[in-house]
Chains A and B, each alone.
Chain A
Amino acid sequence: MSRSALAPLAVVAPILAACVVLVAGRRAPRLVIDVLATATAAGVAATTGFLAASTLGGRAVTWSGGWSPVGGRSVGVVLVADPLGAGLACLAGLLTAVAMLYSWRYLASLQAHYHTLVLLFLAGLVGFALTGDLFNMFVFFELMGAAAYALTALRIEEPDSVQGGLTFAVINSLGAYLSLMGVGLIYARTGELGLARIGRALGGQRADALVIVAFVLVVTGFLVKAAVAPMHFWLADAHAVAPAPICVLMSGVMVELGVYAVARVYTTAFAGVLPGGVLRTALLVPGLLTVTVGSGMCLIQRHIKRLLAYSTIAHTGLFVVAFAVLTPGSVAGAALYVLGHAGIKGALFLVTGLLLDRFGSVDERDLFGRGSRRDPGGWFFLAGGVALAGAPPLGPGIGKAVAEDAAGRAGYPWLVAAFVVGSAVTGGAVLRAGLRVFLGLGHPPQPPASETQGSGEQPETPSLVRAVPRTMLAAIVLLLLAGALPGVVPPLWVAAGRAARMFLDRTGYAGQTLDAAPPTPVAPLPGLGWTTTGVVLGLVSVTLAVAVALLGVYRPRRAGWRGPVRSPAPVELLHRLHSGHVGDYVAWLFLGVAVVGALIAVPLLAGR
């Protein structure tokens, strides 16, 4: 089989498996369904993993139906696998396989619908990462979206689940429709839908109002998916109510694909018409806002799944900031950061899922001191918190170090502060929750009024579990290892550097896609890896995180105070802004569009 057949195979296989599972689910025992779904996901991971490794020497281009271009012109639809896209698809496959493994004893009351939806979700993720066509991005966006909405609201007997799923669906669909408007406008201008063709048609032109509006609309949907402030509100509501294995997929790869899509569309289609400096400002401002809001909200949560969700928002903000620097080093840093973050955050979500199954609660106050010191889950959770803070030599740490180094080299050394503070605060919040729940340190916190509590929820297993099934523990250990590995495997750093160089190479992308040109060899990026500064900054982050955690645990309380504690005014304001109201979220979305649009349009149009 030629290499070009692998990309479509990785998209089609899960869809076919989903159909088989749905039909066979009526008769076959649950174990068969579990094995089939896990094996399919693992197969997709293997295929796309091979594709990622083999495309380091040149992209794999597949024109569906054999409608390949003639003289650089084509009406076909194309899949373009490059190491970064295929690597993300591989990550999606791996996370799905682990989520499936975790689900063997989990959600036992559910029938094969669950597996079908997860496989369709996987197909959407893989297709979105591999496609080279703007309209197909919208189609795969909605495929993964529809599956994710249904999976979020899977437990329809839960009041919170249906509400969170509905908010998620409305906001993301609206974002997708705005993207589609942008696709329509760019088609009106260029007559093209393929990213490479659009890039050639726009290259060297002046950025007029139509192109700017089209670009802003196209990236709006992706920024919503990436939960960039102020379009981030849906994420916490969705993650708080989704089953834990689904949170692994959403937090680990779906949100990151939003950032990837912005980057992909810009580098292949718009880099020739919108200057990098303008895009950098337009991404840095919302990116830094996202880090701030995400870290702040993370720190003041008591619902552990929401806490992890806001930590994801903060980290996605860091990925946006890293990409905005727009150098191969910063893109490589973002890629490694995404890999490490996916494993660690996934493990944290699964440990939280175990808490829910054992105690029927994910509330930090409610669970105070209830975890046992002999429980391996507690130590996994604490280790995850340290890793999330950027501890060397683990996965998130190397990504952070490489991105910081690249930001410094590009002339933005002050961005290092965002990386250090963002990872320290989120890691510290996770550590605080772990210390309270599993080690029972400090005083039980008292509840201010306007927060989502996490108690009184239904466990996702048929009854509260006593002993943790081995499959669940295995899934957690696998994710922790996957999150740690990127920090200690130098070949992965070299690959990330080359992948980043290929990702930013617009001419090479268009040549290979449209002219079947031979691949241009990509030299590895020098100096990628642990540096003394990187290690020191990582240790600073961890120290800060421990300080944040201990401050949270041992914060002094006024004696004799009874009743709810009044939060300080900024905390209260942050809580009230996150109102859980779908209409408010739509209004914020449009404010976000206006801000990003102004940041791009003003510098480009003002000087004329």
Chain B
Amino acid sequence: MHWYAYTVAGWLMLVGSFGIVRSRDLVHAVVSLSVAQSGTYVLLLAVGYQSGAPAPVFAGGPAPSTRVVDPVVQAMALTDIVVSATVTALLLALSIQVHARHRTVDPDALTRLRG
């Protein structure tokens, strides 16, 4: 069953990227980028997952020798989420500005930077 999570992670990355390739709307492209990034969350959490093991919280919980899921990848996923929030906010703000300056958010219609 473990391979299932990795398949989902890879699928999210690919389908998100494909969303950007086929996008007709910059907001859609930005959200597709977030979908692709969700693949990294799933991958990181799958790497640290252990069947039946509790969360790595020891205060008042399991004995220190208990097997727990890996907290390192969870910390990485958190950092990843912070990065994602920053980049997505910046990109959405830029999309608004693109709409204000170009009167369109269709990538096919943004043709000023060519060659």
Identify the A interface with B (CB < 8 A): 75, 135, 139, 142, 145-146, 149-150, 153, 156-160, 162-167, 169-170, 173-174, 176-178, 180-181, 183-185, 187-188, 193, 236-237, 240-241, 297, 300-301, 306, 450-452, 574-575, 578-584, 586-587, 590
Contacts and interface: CB of A to CB of B under 8 A. Distances in A.
A162 B95 CA distance: 8
Nearest to A448: B115
A173 B107 contact: no
Given A162-B94, A181-B40, 16 more contacts: A135-B76, A142-B87, A159-B112, A163-B98, A163-B112, A167-B113, A170-B91, A177-B36, A187-B47, A451-B114, A451-B115, A452-B113, A575-B115, A580-B111, A582-B20, A583-B23
Interface string B87-115: 10011001101100110000110111111
A236 B58 CA distance: 52
Interface string B45-72: 0010000000000000000000000001
A143 to B, nearest CB: 9
A283 to B, nearest CB: 24
A297 B114 CA distance: 11
A233 to B, nearest CB: 10
B7 interface: no
Counting chain B CB atoms within 10 Å of each CB, the highest count among A75, A158, A180, A580 belongs to: A180
Nearest to B76: A135
A139 B79 contact: yes
A149 B97 CA distance: 14
Given A158-B101, A184-B73, A174 B113 contact: no
A401 to B, nearest CB: 33
A169 B87 contact: yes
Contacts of A135: 76, 79
A184 B5 CA distance: 13
Contact of B97 (A162, A176, A583, A586): A162
A177 B13 contact: yes
A178 to B, nearest CB: 7
A191 to B, nearest CB: 9
Given A153-B97, A177-B39, A580 B112 contact: yes
Contacts of B74: none
B101 A162 contact: yes
Contacts of B22: 583
A146 B86 contact: yes
B91 A169 contact: yes
B80 A163 contact: no
A585 to B, nearest CB: 9
A169 B94 contact: yes
B72 to A, nearest CB: 7
A161 to B, nearest CB: 9
Contacts of A146: 83, 86-87, 90
A181 B114 contact: no
B94 A181 contact: no
B15 to A, nearest CB: 12
A586 B113 contact: no
A185 B48 CA distance: 11
B21 interface: yes
A159 B29 contact: no
B21 A587 contact: yes
Given A162-B98, A170-B29, A580-B111, A188 B47 contact: yes
Nearest to B102: A159
Identify the 7 closest CB pairs spanning chains A and B, nearest first.
Answer: A159-B101, A580-B113, A451-B115, A575-B115, A188-B47, A162-B97, A583-B21
13 contacts: A139-B79, A142-B87, A149-B87, A149-B90, A150-B90, A159-B98, A166-B91, A173-B33, A174-B17, A174-B20, A181-B43, A184-B73, A582-B20
Contacts of B43: 181, 184-185
B114 A578 contact: yes
A140 to B, nearest CB: 11
Given A156-B97, A166-B95, A586-B21, A177 B112 contact: no
A181 B112 contact: no
A184 B17 contact: no
A158 B100 CA distance: 10
Contacts of B72: 75, 187, 193
A177 B94 contact: no
Contact of B13 (A142, A157, A173, A181): A181
Contacts of B87: 142, 145-146, 149, 169, 173
Given A146-B86, A173-B87, A301 B115 contact: yes
Contacts of B108: 581
A174 B94 CA distance: 17
A473 B14 CA distance: 48
Contacts of B79: 135, 139
B113 A237 contact: yes
A188 B23 CA distance: 33
Given A159-B102, A174-B17, A184-B47, A153 B94 contact: yes
Contacts of A580: 110-114
